[in-house]
Structure formats: C-alpha cells, structure tokens
C-alpha cells in the first residue's frame, strides 16, 4: 500500500478494524456497525472524499448482510472499502447522506434489492422494479426461476422447432 494509505490505516487502528490489502491501491477495512460512520468521516477528512459506490452482499448462511462503502482518493488514486455486517432478519442502518448526498440513491437501491432500511433517509421509492411483490431480488433466497414461472406461466407452442432447425441447417428442405 502507498505511504499515505498505511498512515491512514494507522490512524484507523483505534477502531479495531480487520484490515485486508486487496492490492497495492485497494484496502478493505472491516469494522463493527457502530464504528462505520466515524471511519467514513476519518477517511473523508483525509482525502478519501469520493463515495464511488455503496453496495451490499447477502451472507445468508451467517444470517448477515454486509454493507460496503467504496471510497476513492483523487490525491493518490487509492481505494478504501469500508465494510460492516448487520443482522439480516431486521436489517437497519443509518444513512450517510449527510456525508455524501449521492448516498441517497445508493441507499434506495440497496433497500430495493436487499431490503435494508436506512434511518434518516425516508425516500425509499423503488428505483427500478415495477409492481414488485416478492422478497428483495438480490437476497440469496430469492429464486428468479420460481418467480419467473409464477409470473409468466409457460405457454404451449405449436411450432415444430426441430423441423424448422433442420431446415435452417439445410438437413431437410422447407
């Protein structure tokens, strides 16, 4: 990692983080939920001012959801991935829209696809899905095929697809 990154990691030590070096310019910092905002603020004050992405991972076997904030520094081109895990059965977290206004949209998206509530962010209108009545679709226990079967019943086709294919392949004359 770069010098400035390793200095920052030292500053962050007080938050008891689990640190993984992904590559020279990418470091993952995992902390408990109560430390996240303080870590994000510290990083923001030290050059990691750009929230490139906020996303979520479903760890279904652990009954947890992982929230990931990707921060980027225009100064040294480094990336910090700040991660934490929250309870999957009642997933709630605080909004960071005061730190980054753009987080409003990321939080809406994560709400829509993973079902996380963000306290302090009330605008949770769906961004993408229409008339959605199933569990959030990026949860691992969402079965896209099952959903597809339920919503779009199979239809019986009458066409002889084999014959058509054989005509296309020139095996028989059409």
Partner 1 sequence: MAMQELPKKDFFAPLKAWKFLGKRPVTIEVPNKVKREASDRYRGFHINDWSKCIGCGTCSKICPTDAITMVEVPGLVRDHGKLPQRPVIDYGRCSFCALCVDICTTGSLQMTREYIHVSDDAEDYVYMPTEKGLNAKRGLYEHGKAPLGWIKDENSDILDLVRVKMPMEEPEVRVKSFIEIVKGYSKEQAQQEAARCVGCGICTYTCPEHMDIPQYIESIYKGDLEEGLRWLYRTNPLSMVCGRVCTHRCESSCSVGVRGEPVAIRWLKRYIIDNVPFEEYDRILNIRPEKKGKSVGIIGSGPAGLSAAYFLSTMGYDVTIYEANARPGGVMRYGIPRYRLPDEALDKDIAFIEALGVKILVNTKVGQEIGFDEIAKKHDAVFISTGFGLGRSTRVPGTDHPNVKQALPMLKMIRDYLRGDGPKPPVPRKLIVIGGGNVAMDISRSMARLQTMEYGEVNVHTLSLERSFEEMPADMDEIEEALEEGVEFHPGWGPIEIVIEDDEVKGARFKKCLRVFDENHRFNPQFDENNQIFIEADMVIEAIGQAPDYSYLPQELQEKLEFVRGRIKTNEYNQTAIEWLFAGGDIVHGPDIIHGVADGYAAAKGIDMYLSKK
Nearest CB to partner 1, comparing residues 125 and 145: 145
Contact status, residue 76 vs residue 3, Cβ threshold 8 Å: no
Residues 6+ apart with CB under 8 A from 121: 95, 97, 103, 104, 107, 108
Kindly identify the residues of this chain, within the stretch 26-55, that bind partner 1 according to CB under 8 A: 47, 49-51
Give the binding-site size for partner 1 (rule: CB under 8 A).
Answer: 28
* Interaction of residue 99 with partner 1, rule CB under 8 A: yes
The token duo for 39 is 């870590």
Which of residues 75, 92, 94, 125 is near partner 1 by CB under 8 A? 75
Kindly identify the residues of this chain, within the stretch 144-163, that bind partner 1 according to CB under 8 A: 144-145, 148-149, 152, 154-155, 157-159, 161-162
Strands 18-23 and 26-30, how do they pair? Answer: antiparallel
Q: How far apart are CA 112 and CA 38, in angstroms?
A: 26
Contact residues toward partner 1 (CB under 8 A) are 47, 49-51, 74-75, 98-102, 144-145, 148-149, 152, 154-155, 157-159, 161-162, 164-165, 168-169, 171
């Amino acid at each position: 990692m770069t010098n400035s990154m390793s200095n920052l990691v030292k500053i962050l030590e007080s938050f008891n983080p689990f640190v993984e070096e992904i590559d020279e310019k990418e470091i993952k910092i995992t902390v408990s939920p109560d430390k996240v905002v303080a870590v994000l603020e510290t990083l923001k004050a030290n050059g990691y001012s750009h929230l490139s992405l906020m996303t979520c991972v479903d760890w279904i076997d652990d009954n947890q959801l992982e929230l990931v904030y990707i921060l980027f520094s225009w100064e040294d081109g480094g990336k910090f991935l700040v991660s934490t895990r929250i309870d999957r059965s009642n997933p709630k977290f605080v909004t960071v829209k005061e730190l980054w206004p753009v987080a409003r949209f990321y939080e809406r998206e994560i709400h829509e696809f993973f079902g996380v509530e963000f306290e302090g962010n009330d605008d949770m209108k769906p961004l993408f899905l229409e008339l959605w009545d199933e569990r959030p679709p990026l949860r691992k226990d969402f079965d896209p095929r099952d959903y597809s079967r339920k919503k779009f019943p199979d239809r019986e086709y009458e066409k002889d697809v084999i014959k058509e294919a054989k005509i296309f392949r020139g095996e028989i004359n059409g």
